[in-house]
Amino acid sequence: MAEEIEEFSEEDELYEHHRVVVDKGQGLLRVDRFLMDRLPNATRTKIQAAIDAESVRINDRPTKASYKVKPLDVITISLPHPPRETDLVPENIPLNIIYEDDELLVLNKPAGMVVHPAYGNWNGTVVNALVYHFQNLPTTQNGVARPGLVHRIDKDTSGLMVIAKTEYAMTHLARQFYDHTIERTYNALVWGIPEPPAGTITGYIGRSVKDRKVQTIYDDESKGKWAVTHYKTLEVLRYVTLVQCNLETGRTHQIRAHMKHIGHPLFSDAMYGGDRILRGTPVGSYKSFVDNAFKLLPRQALHAKSLGFEHPRTRQWLQFDSELPDDFRAVLEKWRNYVTV
């Protein structure tokens, strides 16, 4: 009998993850045929691609399609979500692509650009641009609204994303996100000076009961998903601090919620209370200075700076880095000038 488990991270929301325990009375049967009978909307092609990318594991080990399942085998699978009834409009929107080969591409997303169409944002997204510039991205031929996507970053967060160009790459990269072997480093400007200057933030992230748009941290696993963020101080600027955050998991708004949880909301993050003066006396020239800084960076000060992963085909480690965008750099310089006066 099959038992499904829920998604493990923000990236995983683009995938369905299953855990199947083979029934005691199950006869010997090829694993690809076994899964076709048990997973809704899973074609043999998708299952085979997942097996090739080692996204199907039996007793925590990669398998082959010819493997015959045995009673009490534990099978875990990650597959792209089935097709959805969404029409995608190709749009000639420039993409800042910093790497591309036959299997994947890495792009640097600007702040303000939504990743995929959703309520209130049906066009102008990364996906609209992808379907214009690239043909036959995985899942596009069946009408799925998220072709090539293996993860997301927030609309007003800038930085690096990896896009899959083939079914094989998609399933292989999805497995890396699932296993938390992708390396992701963010730079964030936060209010205050974190103490200690480096540490690890953990907790169960779930929607706030007061505001469903906001994520909050719980100590009860029934209220959220386990999340881990490692941070370290890069530069102290009196009332704000530039920090580096490394994600061990990838929950929705993870860095934003975690930093607020320890008392250091991101600078200019309206959703998490960082768009008001939280350190220093909010009067006079200091208030004017901060108000001007908010105008320079009218979004959360968060940038997906580096990204590292194993190439699906070559198995070589790929590492990418990006510069902070102009608005982020401008605010940093403004604070640096302020503290040296």
Angle at CA of residue 260, ends 125 and 118, nearest 5°: 20
Of 9, 5, 88, 18, nearest to 46 by C-alpha is 18
The Cα 49–Cα 312 span in angstroms is 12
* 117 prior amide bond cis, ω within 30: no
The answer to whether 154 is a known catalytic residue is yes
The Cα 109–Cα 91 span in angstroms is 16
The Cα 3–Cα 45 span in angstroms is 22
Asked if residues 63 and 51 have their Cβ atoms less than 8 Å apart, the reply is yes
Catalytic residue among 154, 156, 269, 327: 154
Which residue in the block uniquely carries the two structure tokens 């790929």? 318
The bridge status of strand 158-164 relative to strand 302-310 is: parallel
89-98 per-residue burial string, b: 16 or more CB within 10 A, e: under 16: eeeeeebeee
Non-local (6+) Cβ contacts of 139 within 8 A are 80, 83, 146, 147, 148, 167, 170
The DSSP string of 159-175 is EEEEEE-SHHHHHHHHH
Token digits for 161?
Answer: 């994303």
C-alpha distances (whole Å) from 153 to each of 53, 242, 316 are 24, 20, 24
Which residue in the block uniquely carries the two structure tokens 């899964």? 35
Asked if residues 141 and 148 have their Cβ atoms less than 8 Å apart, the reply is no
Q: Which residues are catalytic?
A: 154
